Structure 1
């Protein structure tokens, strides 16, 4: 049994953590906690009182919030995925917070109203507004990877994983206006660990 436990189903934000663990080569136990009531049992609420997923238990240490978990795991592993230079570490935080605050919710709005909700409940105006909100954010990513393969330079890092994992649903989106961002996203998801994590949820 591994010391690291990842709580959450792969079709949730736990996908991001599963990808990171596979990328880092960390052994883990995957505890299937979803939104079917298993996240509200006394046993799980003792791990995460809010009942949200994902959560990790690393020995006695508990941590929630998927992107924070990924930063922790990459640094804990002493992996090249976590940058050594202070400036690159700061840029990793910047890109991670950008993904959480600028990308996550408009991507969810777009996905809900194009793919997730039943057709009769979809609102094209909400999807269009989400795309309009996303346009300058995607342009920013496009500019960042136009002259280099990854967000921090020549090497894939946890910054790329965090941003790309938030953009998962855009794998089915039209990114023709931002071709460099599209090529970068495809490059991230072509990694063996990404393919393994996708296989858990698709």
Structure 2
């Protein structure tokens, strides 16, 4: 059985969503981010990214990770590409060309979009969104996102989905990367194709199932 390491309030959400889309049975091992704990190495601390038991799975000390038979993988977006390729179906590429496009768009999300969306979500996570420095950080990230979002806006003109005529792993991966910036409504209002597309992604039952479980996790530890 597939084992997913990581709490839902982390990048592991992407893998949990993917598992729901594919209808996979999986075992969830909640692993907290060590930064959320005062003393992550204390004997009383819950399993976290600095715990020796988890470092034996992922020496980088980051979530998510998976075990799938003899395969151990890290990096959420790569894990989703792997799961799509392994299990096939509409979320995977139908051709070598489609498979290449799924990979291209996923790398694009990781390199061109996620660094800025993470800056935004961490500003909120740290409660700094109303501070002068926080406002400047968010504004700078939004400026940096204009070019990639303009490219995505153009790509989605007259289309429902990123690759082919269906929801794929590329849509899931990019939607999850962009979710970190959804606090900035004006950014999405300025890109109506992107806004409508992400609403389609997030209306899927598998996304809602993931979010329902995520909502049950405590905000604080």
TM-score, structure 2 normalization: 0.85
Distance in 2 (CA, whole Å) between partners of 1:169 and 1:5 is 25
Aligned runs of 1:1-202 on 2, under 5 Å?
Answer: 3-36=1-34, 37=40, 38-113=48-123, 115-119=124-128, 120=131, 122-174=133-185, 175-202=188-215
The 1:181/1:87 distance shift into structure 2, 3 A limit, reads same
Give 3-state SS (helix, strand or coil) of 2:3's partner: strand
Is contact 2:98-2:164 (8 Å) kept? no
The 1:121/1:199 distance shift into structure 2, 3 A limit, reads farther
State the Cα deviation string for residues 118-152 of structure 1 (Å, max 9, x = none). 24485221111100000011111111112110001
CA RMSD in angstroms comes to: 1.4
Give 3-state SS (helix, strand or coil) of 2:73's partner: strand
Q: How far apart are 1:44 and its partner, in Å?
A: 1.4
Equivalent residue pairs, number: 199
Q: Which range is displaced more, 31-40 or 82-91?
A: 31-40
State the Cα deviation string for residues 145-164 of structure 1 (Å, max 9, x = none). 12110001320000101101
Q: How far apart are 1:197 and its partner, in Å?
A: 1.1
Aligned residue in 1 for 2:43:
none
Unaligned ranges ≥5, structure 2: 35-39, 41-47, 216-221
Unaligned ranges ≥5, structure 1: none
Give 3-state SS (helix, strand or coil) of 1:172's partner: coil
The 1:121/1:61 distance shift into structure 2, 3 A limit, reads farther
Distance in 2 (CA, whole Å) between partners of 1:93 and 1:35 is 27
The 1:142/1:11 distance shift into structure 2, 3 A limit, reads same
TM-score, structure 1 normalization: 0.93
